[in-house]
Amino acid sequence: MDRIAPWLQTHWDDRAAGNFIGGGTGSGLAIVAATTLLASGESPPAAFALAALLIALGLGLVWLEMGRPWRFLHVFLHPQTSWMTREALIAPPLLAALGIAAWLEGAASAVAALVLALAFLFSQSQILHAAKGIPAWREPRIVPLIVATGIAEGAGAYLLIGAVFGVLPESPFAIALTLAAIFARSLAWSSYRRHLSRGSAPAGARRALAAFSPMVVVLGTIVPFVLLLAALALPDAVNALAPLGGLAALAIGWRMKHAIIRRAAFNQGFAIAQPHGARGGATRAEARPGWS
Amino acid sequence: MTRREPTTRRRVATYCYQCVAGPDLLTVQVDDGVAVAVEPNFCAAGIHPGAGRVCVKAYGLVQKTYNPHRVLSPMKRTNPLKGRDQEPGFVPISWDEALDLVAAKLNAIRKSGLLDASGYPKVAASFGGGGTPQSYMGTFPAYLAAWGPVDMGFGSGQGVKCYHSEHLYGELWHRAFTVSPDTPSCRYLLSFGSNTEASGGVVGVRRHADARVRGLKRVQIEPHLSVTGACSAEWLPIRPKTDAAFLYALIHVLLHENARAALDLQFLKARTASPYLVGRHGYYLRDPASRRPLMWDVRRKSAVPYDAPDADPALEGEFLADAIEIGPDGEELERGSLAGTTAFGKLLEHMRRCTPEWAAPICDVPAATIRRVANEFLAQACVGETVEIEGETLPFRPVAITLGKTVNNGWGGYECCWARTVAVALVGGLEVPGGTLGTTVRLNRPMSDRTGSVKAGADGFMAYPFNPTDKESWSASPNIRNAYRTLVPLAANGPWSQALGPTHFSWMFLDGTPKGLPGVTFPELWFLYRSNPAISFWDTAAIEDKMSRFPFIVAFAYTRDESNHMADILLPECTDLEGLQLVRIGGTKYVEQFWDQEGFALRQPAVDARGSARDFTDIATELARRTGLLEPYNAAINKGAAGTPLKAEGYDFSLDVTKAHGREEIWDRACRAASAELTDGAASDGLDWYKAHGFRTRRFSTLDWYLYPALVRQGLRFELPYQERLFRIGQELGRRLHDQGMTWWDEQLAEYQALPPWRNFPALWEKAAAEAGWSAADFPFWLVTARSMQYAWGGNAGIQMMHEVAENVAGHGGVIVNAGTAARLGIADGDLVEISTPRRATRGRAVLRQGIRPDTLLMVGQFQHWATPYAKNFGVPSMNGLVPMSLDLTDATGSGADLVRVSLSRVGGPQ
Amino acid sequence: MTKWAMVVDLRRCVGCQTCTAACKQANATPPGVQWRRVLDMEVGEYPRVQRTFVPVGCMHCDDPPCMSVCPSTATRKREDGIVTIDYGLCIGCGYCAVACPYQARFKTDRASFAYGDRPSDAEDMSFDGDRLAVATKCTFCVDRVDAGISKGLKPGVDPDATPACVNSCIAGALHFGDIDDPASNVRHLVAGNAHFRMHEELGTGPRMYYLWG
């Protein structure tokens, strides 16, 4: 390997991807559960509990990835600029709010969980956006994408839980919310991909995302859309169709994050540019290996 | 665990001479007795032309010292069978036992006679690295001198791995064992494959960097874009082995497409043999009385001897002269009023057809490009300009031509060296400021004084110590196995000559000596040091096989390697940071190493010897004692075998020849003598002074970079362009050989041309492959190599850090293939490919690059180790196993070229 | 205000890796970790190809993305512009490594040595366990610079106050000095030659200047 053209980063592995999966779905689930509770007056307590569990699992995976895990308290030292610190600072009250919401099912705790989960999810999106070394992450459109897919995954998870607890027939709101989240994710994905394909990511990253894109469109958007619309149209089949649609929304979200964190995470590579103030003698060409 | 702070820290001054472009002066940081880092010796910045910096190889010395794979105790072989497939079964023994075993063998040899039945020395020795081991072997040369005849002609790859034709012809024409541009003031440089940025050392790299920033335009002409090409203004991807055609076309443009006055006519008339008249048999017309070559004096309108005062010689034309023409063996071919053409006129005619249009399809370089380059060369030559150096006015010709390996050795090497030297002479750019310089002598004497080696010889030229070819003196019985004195008159007969003969003959003839030579024998004892022929030679499988049949090999061993795998005794010597030695520095040395200082530098133990490694000087002394050679050994040291004579006018630090002396005492004497030599006897500082200061120098005149003033002072001429003497020698040599029934050297005899014609050199290699049964389509690629700065000469493939940093330079991980070619063959970057000749094949990873001709493959460096710890796991191919060892591919100087026709195929995917 | 910067003259660099080796030795980095290295880049297609050698490493950016993302404040920027890592604070999360667009950061989880698991005497002498499982990178040889300054030496001029890579460079391609000092070597070089900074469009303000005009 010449290690000049961008290559796949190896600093963050599946454990890091696990945090974005667990944290994203968990916070998304918290948002959907809280919103549903606030909108319809009820939401399965298990949804809040599962959200907390997913977030905790994700953080646990990150902890495992740390080189010096017993210094984990140092993660709280830089709230001024570090979104990782901010994510870490939000996590304890979020977990607490989710616990309370699961226990008490009260509106206040739901509001707190909603706000904190939104902040947590936003932090996760900003963590990627701030990673300037990875073009596919630093792209600003990753922020709405991570938020949208988090909510879509959470909504999908909510539908699964709803099916388990038999609350779906009373929850067209959750299905509608899922549809909206999937739609938003679809828009965010196509906007993200469009901008990356305009040259703001290395060829390897673009190829990886292009290879994955049909899955997002078909399995992550069209299939859940059809299933969820059918669920709305066929109340008798809601317990079968909605969780299936939710599962598709959830699974493709997880795969998408895995693709972004692990497959599209080509670093910047190296480049030489045209010099400033070049005189006639400067004849060297610009070069940006791996970007075209 | 936090890094611990050392309680003691020292910086020890020493040198690195791992490659021919050394020495570099450095300091070693020693913490609590452990060497931890190498740094430049910043105190040397003022005296070293490379600003006192140290090449990358030196940074590997710390790991070299502490390499766990080192041989740290004498060892003896327990398995009597030898071969690659035989485990030697080395077991540790004491120094006493090891030296007893070696001394017993040596004493037995002395007792039975130093020469064998064929007349060859029973003891042989091989040292690698272009003479660099001498900077690490202490007083061992004194031991060899005390011993008597030793066959130093087995070599370690010389001839095919060196600038062989340049070494020999360069020394003949301008005391140029190696050639360099006068980089500090050169403005336009044509570099035919000369890889200065990889092999020019710190000084070469620094000077060229300065020159580039100053505006030097270097045109790199070579089949692949080397690191030197990368640092050049222009790259011309020429077809391999066609450089001579390019150079001939360049000369054509100078001679036939430009006004005559654009050339340096004054230089040609006064400092070359251009005006000499050549008779119809091809020999100079000579004055019947004095036998001096004649010129036509325009002023007197008559022929005059070359040294006639106030002559204005004609450069062109045919003239009648009262003369004799003398052929080989002093035969008078003709006498009377003879017609003679000037040598320059001969050259004009010789080059008339060599137009750029003729050369273009041969070289695969457009004619317009060749023409442009030739005209740029002429325009930049500044013919007529002068410069003052140290009060002396010299011509200023800031143009130069350099040649690289494979260009300046093997068939075609003569033609390239000749054409290069002629081209620069045409503009007066030979041995003058800005121009093309020789920088070291190895065949002429004294070796430490190049300008001092300029001595008047016959016909107005510098003397040259040819091996004689006359009937009475020609050596019919070779003194060593490669028969350099018999076959290669140019190789001379000095200390370096044995290694500059056709070294591969020593190996080839072991299994069949051609008619006329005494049967080549295995040496009874072979010393091996810093040399790994089993890796570095050509046709390495054959070398391994023959080496396995050597009866007794004594290897001074750093780690196990492919050559000492066949050894009987391994002797661990103190390595670079452990040993003690004083060497000469500065003056003019290899390639770009011409300094404005000269003096001495000390290598001193920065750390204690590891294990029971012993200093080379102490080993040599002990061997001398045990073989009863103390007196001649000490006498050799007194005479100068330790770098400088211990006794001269005004000082005497001679050793008592009857006693065995320790290394400290020997080198203390050498240091005192060095101090005295540098100060004309005023100082006598010894070892302690050098240990504290590291080096001592004095001013070396810049004027001594140039031979021109010495030639002017002595009224001498460069032996150019016409090679009457070589032509005669070739004729004589042919007669001598034929008298012995030796016709197998006839192809080589054809090289002795007064004006060498272009031959289809690439076809020689194609023919060699075709004779092995292949059709042209089977071997579409040229396989070539390039030096690696990280490894060249260093014997350091087993050093982890060198491997790691070298990997950053393209090609160190496999074979470089043109990306377009690879796409055509379905080869992806990193794929496993096989490179084959009719007889051998090797495998490696494809490294796809744009900077290489589509018909050329490149393997950097010399790898494919199978015994050297660490290096044996590289999996990187080497061309050395593929290059055939053959008489057909050996030129008249006894050298081959580092290239071979091969096929390429994909055999597997990436790792 | 002093701002240390490095100038790389691409006209001079020959890709020899002497700086790479000198850095590895001076900083005792383990196998595979190269705080300084020289790229061997090709541009164009045969036969119109250019090959260029480009030294890279930490650019000690004006606005280092590694610092702003660091959750532990282990990565800091000194007044003189040198970006440092406090090995005692670093949690080894690797965030800085993905934030750096110059691939300048390394993390080695286990001790490794040139020849296997056991250190040589030299490696043992230089081994620093504090650097395991945390982020590491080029420091501009900050200890050497500081020690030199405390002795009244001038970084970039006096070897004992100058980074090892600059000291070692055989081509005179690497220069170190105070870019804010109008009289400094680096300021003169940048002012007098065409130059660029790598990935300047990312707004990091890298302080390695590449000359080639």
What's the pLDDT at A105?
83
Q: How many CB pairs under 8 A join B and C?
A: 183
Dig out the tokens for B535 from the structure. 């890796």
C-alpha to C-alpha distance for B278 and B315, rounded to whole angstroms:
12
Closest Cα in chain C, distance from residue B785 (Å) = 17
Task: Tell whether B69 lies on the interface with C, counting CB pairs under 8 A.
Answer: yes
Q: Whose CA is closest to B387, among B402, B401, B398?
A: B398
Per DSSP, helices labelled H in B331-483 are: 343-351, 356-363, 367-379, 413-426
pLDDT tens digits along B731-781:
999 999 999 999 999 999 999 999 999 999 999 988 887 887 778 788 999
Whether the predicted pLDDT of A281 surpasses 60? no
pLDDT tens digits along B786-843:
999 999 988 999 999 999 999 999 999 999 999 999 999 999 999 999 999 988 999 9
- Residue A278's pLDDT band (boundaries 50, 70, 90)? very low
C49 contacts on B by Cβ (under 8 Å): 225, 235, 850-851
pLDDT tens digits along B530-554:
999 999 999 999 999 999 999 999 9
Count of positions (residues) in chain C: 213
Q: Do A270 and C41 lie within an 8 Å CB cutoff?
A: yes
What mean pLDDT value characterizes chain A? 93
pLDDT tens digits along C37-60:
999 999 999 999 999 999 999 999
What's the pLDDT at B613?
98
Whether the predicted pLDDT of B191 surpasses 80? yes
Q: Give the pLDDT mean for B296-314.
A: 97
Q: Which of A74, A75, A268 sits opposite C101 (nearest CB)?
A: A268
Q: Do C65 and A81 lie within an 8 Å CB cutoff?
A: no
Q: Which of B62, B804, B808 sits opposite C31 (nearest CB)?
A: B804
What's the pLDDT at A283?
56
pLDDT tens digits along A213-231:
999 999 999 999 999 999 9
Whether the predicted pLDDT of A279 surpasses 50? no
pTM of the model: 0.96
Q: Do C18 and B39 lie within an 8 Å CB cutoff?
A: no
Q: Whose CA is closest to B791, among B18, B66, B16?
A: B18
Q: Do A11 and C107 lie within an 8 Å CB cutoff?
A: yes
Count of positions (residues) in chain A: 292
Q: Give the pLDDT mean for B412-427.
A: 98
Q: Give the pLDDT mean for B413-437.
A: 98
Closest Cα in chain C, distance from residue A152 (Å) = 26
Give the mutation candidate from B232, B809, B816, B824 for the C interface (greatest C CB count, under 10 A). Answer: B809
Q: Give the pLDDT mean for B438-459.
A: 94
B600: amino acid identity, one letter = F
> Closest-CA residue in chain B for C35?
B805
Q: Which of C10, C133, C196 sits opposite A274 (nearest CB)?
A: C196
Q: What number is the ipTM of this complex? A: 0.98
Task: Tell whether B860 lies on the interface with C, counting CB pairs under 8 A.
Answer: no
Q: Give the pLDDT mean for B617-621.
A: 98
C contact chains, 3+ CB pairs < 8 A? A, B
Q: Is B121 in a helix, a strand, or coil?
A: strand
**Enclosing H/E stretch for B744:** none
C-alpha to C-alpha distance for B169 and B216, rounded to whole angstroms:
27
A contact chains, 3+ CB pairs < 8 A? C
Q: Give the pLDDT mean for A247-268.
A: 97
Return the HEC string of B88-110.
CCCEECCHHHHHHHHHHHHHHHH
pLDDT tens digits along B338-388:
999 999 999 999 999 999 999 999 999 999 999 999 999 999 999 999 999
Closest Cα in chain A, distance from residue C73 (Å) = 6
HSE of C116, CA atoms in CB hemisphere, 13 A: 7
What's the pLDDT at B378?
98
What's the pLDDT at B642?
92
Return the HEC string of C41-84.
EEEEECCEEEEEEEEECCCCCCCCHHHHHCCCCCEEECCCCCEE
Q: Which of C52, C126, C171 sits opposite B36 (nearest CB)?
A: C126
Contact B294, B321 (CB under 8 A): yes
Q: Do C120 and B213 lie within an 8 Å CB cutoff?
A: no
Closest Cα in chain A, distance from residue C172 (Å) = 19
Count CB-CB contacts under 10 A for residue B748: 23
DSSP state of B518: P
Q: How many CB pairs under 8 A join A and C?
A: 177
Q: Which of B229, B808, B853 sits opposite C20 (nearest CB)?
A: B808
C195 contacts on A by Cβ (under 8 Å): 275-277
Q: Do B2 and C39 lie within an 8 Å CB cutoff?
A: no
Q: Do B808 and C169 lie within an 8 Å CB cutoff?
A: no
Q: Which of C11, C14, C159 sits opposite B213 (nearest CB)?
A: C11
For chain B, positions 661-690, list CB contacts with chain C under 8 A: none
What's the pLDDT at A292?
86
- Residue A106's pLDDT band (boundaries 50, 70, 90)? confident
Low-confidence residues of chain C: pLDDT under 50: none
Closest Cα in chain A, distance from residue C132 (Å) = 8
> Closest-CA residue in chain C for B820?
C46
Contact B850, B230 (CB under 8 A): no
Backbone angles phi, psi at C99, to 5 degrees: -85, -20
Q: Do C168 and B53 lie within an 8 Å CB cutoff?
A: yes
Q: Do C46 and B34 lie within an 8 Å CB cutoff?
A: no
A117: amino acid identity, one letter = A
What's the pLDDT at B901?
94
Q: Do C92 and A77 lie within an 8 Å CB cutoff?
A: no
Q: Which of C26, C40, C116 sits opposite B808 (nearest CB)?
A: C40
Q: Do C170 and B42 lie within an 8 Å CB cutoff?
A: no
What's the pLDDT at B155?
87
Q: Do C130 and B1 lie within an 8 Å CB cutoff?
A: yes
A267 contacts on C by Cβ (under 8 Å): 98, 101, 103
Q: Is the peptide bond before A92 cis (omega within 30 degrees of 0)?
A: no
Closest Cα in chain B, distance from residue C200 (Å) = 24
Closest Cα in chain C, distance from residue A167 (Å) = 41
DSSP C112-168: -BTTBSSPPHHHHHH--GGGTTSEE---TTHHHHHHHHHTT--TTTSGGGS-HHHHH
C-alpha to C-alpha distance for B81 and B806, rounded to whole angstroms:
37
A30: amino acid identity, one letter = A
Q: Do C54 and A273 lie within an 8 Å CB cutoff?
A: no
What's the pLDDT at A282?
46
What's the pLDDT at A276?
63
What's the pLDDT at A175?
93
C159 contacts on B by Cβ (under 8 Å): 39-40, 42
Whether the predicted pLDDT of B718 surpasses 70? yes
C40 contacts on A by Cβ (under 8 Å): 2, 4
Burial environment of residue C183 by CB neighbours within 10 A (0 to 12, 13 to 18, 19 or more): exposed
Q: Do C21 and B802 lie within an 8 Å CB cutoff?
A: yes
Count of positions (residues) in chain B: 911
pLDDT tens digits along B48-100:
999 999 999 999 999 999 999 999 999 999 999 999 999 999 999 999 999 99
Give the mutation candidate from B363, B801, B821 for the C interface (greatest C CB count, under 10 A). Answer: B801
pLDDT tens digits along B34-57:
999 999 999 999 999 999 999 999
